[in-house]
Structure 1
């Protein structure tokens, strides 16, 4: 009775919702390496499978307290996500919101770069061939942070983030500390977005044998782009640059260069009342020089058709491919970054064909 009374009292002063998405697909995929083709069920190809818990309270006046937890799932196995997004690693924030001043959140959530990529992609950073794979964005979500989002001001929304990084009590104490800024502008059918992020990263080798060099430097990511809805077609485009400072052997094989630049353009066509056809192409280039090999360059292509069954459910078919030159190992990514297809051999061309179902609740 005491618990029931407490829940009743809470309900009188707060709103609590549970929502989510389940996205599961049957796929034929390959990294392009010899003997590395397989069929599989996968999760999150078009959008991440997740359960979202969200609460909002009432304080009176301008301020509204809120909290949001996102539990990422592998819907093909029923298990939780692995890696940094495991458990509630997609989002775990609490904060205050004002209709006048905007929102301040503390915890772990998307970095300022995510809205920029989301608003300039043909599928909202979903499907094989999306701009997260083209850009190879390094920091998409950040922990131990303070995040600010302004209210829209004549179409302009500002974002900022600062994090405490790895919170080490031994050198390098500032490793992983990130600062980011972002902005988006919407006017009618036009949407523009940009973001800049910098993080403190160790420049010496971190794997065994351990180095005594504890110096860090600024790793930088920046990007901008936009989209325009003509009615019969929505077009999108973007540009992205990464400056890496980490030890070469510690980097993702897909982006070994000190400087990597990418660009993309896409289009989404409405098909009847319930369908949409998305097409996108992008190019990713690096400055790594290896004797006898060209500088890394990969061309990514993606296409999908999504058909809505009703407001909650849809089905889709999606194909994506990366054409790597002899010096490149660019990966192909779906909406589930953890399941990206990364070649182990330079020059291999990853590809994927997926047929899936999405249900939102």
Structure 2
């Protein structure tokens, strides 16, 4: 409905974009985990949803408010290419992102379901860009599942970059009446960028309980996280290294050391590789090493084919896996895997 006397040309300019990723692959691992024994249940061949990137669809929009300000929103839902069901999120419709906010020269404020600054920092310095096979995303989910990744009830602020520095902070309210601490989550990060060098440090603190405990895939693992990482770009070569701590209440105190690189061989062909070493500070016999490499070839601007190989070695109580889907947890000893697939973005 138009306000009385307001000319049509006075409406602010706005836009809405529909986007998505469709990613499907085949996965082979020479071992699988038997949850009852912790040992191998045999090898597997499987169709795997999202080998390189999580399949999803969403929409984002912006409205020019004038004076350099914009209203923004984003809704994003994870889907399974294998079954068409909700997946790669917290199994809610628009379970990946659902926020509204305002952007200006003073920074960006968002309110709603969103990624934490801690997760975004870990993502930035992952040598394989958080691929769904053989990357830091697997070690992240092994430790705290989707906590800190999908944050309901979140309010965040990200500053503009000033003299190379950019800060971000988030508070997620637990939503439990009479108990502010239940389900409360907070996170912050500080990023420094100078030419080819980027350094990022972040923290996270989350409590159990609250309203997020009732969603299909709860995001309320009680843990404290600390992370620091760096990347450097040498023309077509990007090198990254990081240290991440996941201190989970009543469980592991995992310290993950990672490093790797990505090299663009041609405009269409890229190779990357990384190593993630996990050690439990509470029990030294619990440790794991994950190593992987991947090759992507762009058939067009929107379509990529890929191949990935990797192995993981688990000792003690560690059961780290190779793939977010179908091989997130694996038995003690060494497991090798191969993943090939195709991804289309729109």
What is the TM-score of this pair, normalised by structure 2? 0.85
| 3-state secondary structure, aligned to 1:238 | strand
Q: Please give the alpha-carbon distance, in whole angstroms, between the structure 1 residues aligned to 2:107 and 2:91.
A: 26
Q: Please give the alpha-carbon distance, in whole angstroms, between the structure 1 residues aligned to 2:13 and 2:199.
A: 38
- Select between 27-36 and 350-359 the one with higher mean Cα deviation: 27-36
Q: Contact 1:197 / 1:221 at 8 angstroms: preserved in 2?
A: yes
Aligned-residue CA RMSD in angstroms?
Answer: 2.8
- Select between 219-228 and 129-138 the one with higher mean Cα deviation: 129-138
Partner of 2:50: 44
Which of 58, 80, 88 is residue 86 of structure 2 equivalent to? 80
Q: Contact 1:122 / 1:236 at 8 angstroms: preserved in 2?
A: yes
Q: Contact 1:127 / 1:304 at 8 angstroms: preserved in 2?
A: no
Q: Residues 79, 238 of structure 1: CA spacing in aligned structure 2 closer, same or farther, 3 A cutoff?
A: same
Q: Contact 1:46 / 1:123 at 8 angstroms: preserved in 2?
A: no
Pairing 1:1-361 to 2, within 5 Å after superposition = 13-29=13-29, 30-31=31-32, 33-81=39-87, 84-98=90-104, 100-135=105-140, 136=142, 138=144, 139-165=148-174, 167-169=175-177, 173-201=180-208, 219-245=223-249, 248=250, 256-257=251-252, 259-289=253-283, 295-325=285-315, 327-334=316-323, 337=324, 339-343=326-330, 345=331, 347-361=332-346
Q: Contact 1:235 / 1:266 at 8 angstroms: preserved in 2?
A: yes
Q: Please give the alpha-carbon distance, in whole angstroms, between the structure 2 residues aligned to 1:296 and 1:332.
A: 14
Q: Residues 192, 85 of structure 1: CA spacing in aligned structure 2 closer, same or farther, 3 A cutoff?
A: farther
1:197-227 alpha-carbon deviations (Å, 9 max, x no partner): 112237xxx9xxxxxxxxx997310101011
Partner of 1:213: none
Q: Residues 127, 176 of structure 1: CA spacing in aligned structure 2 closer, same or farther, 3 A cutoff?
A: same
| 3-state secondary structure, aligned to 1:58 | strand
Q: Please give the alpha-carbon distance, in whole angstroms, between the structure 1 residues aligned to 2:222 and 2:41.
A: 39
Deviation of residue 34 (structure 1)?
Answer: 2.6
Deviation of residue 143 (structure 1)?
Answer: 0.6
Partner of 1:252: none
Unaligned runs of 5+ in 1: 3-7, 207-215, 249-255
Q: Contact 2:21 / 2:344 at 8 angstroms: preserved in 1?
A: yes
- Select between 35-44 and 277-286 the one with higher mean Cα deviation: 35-44
Deviation of residue 146 (structure 1)?
Answer: 0.1
Deviation of residue 63 (structure 1)?
Answer: 2.2
Deviation of residue 76 (structure 1)?
Answer: 2.0
Number of residue pairs aligned between Structure 1 and Structure 2: 322
Q: Please give the alpha-carbon distance, in whole angstroms, between the structure 2 residues aligned to 1:284 and 1:355.
A: 26
Q: Please give the alpha-carbon distance, in whole angstroms, between the structure 2 residues aligned to 1:266 and 1:56.
A: 36
What is the TM-score of this pair, normalised by structure 1? 0.81
Q: Please give the alpha-carbon distance, in whole angstroms, between the structure 2 residues aligned to 1:11 and 1:52.
A: 25
Q: Please give the alpha-carbon distance, in whole angstroms, between the structure 2 residues aligned to 1:10 and 1:69.
A: 27
Deviation of residue 148 (structure 1)?
Answer: 1.2
- Select between 28-37 and 87-96 the one with higher mean Cα deviation: 28-37
| 3-state secondary structure, aligned to 1:113 | helix
Q: Please give the alpha-carbon distance, in whole angstroms, between the structure 2 residues aligned to 1:19 and 1:232.
A: 28
Deviation of residue 124 (structure 1)?
Answer: 1.4
Deviation of residue 288 (structure 1)?
Answer: 3.9
Q: Contact 1:329 / 1:348 at 8 angstroms: preserved in 2?
A: no
Deviation of residue 109 (structure 1)?
Answer: 0.8
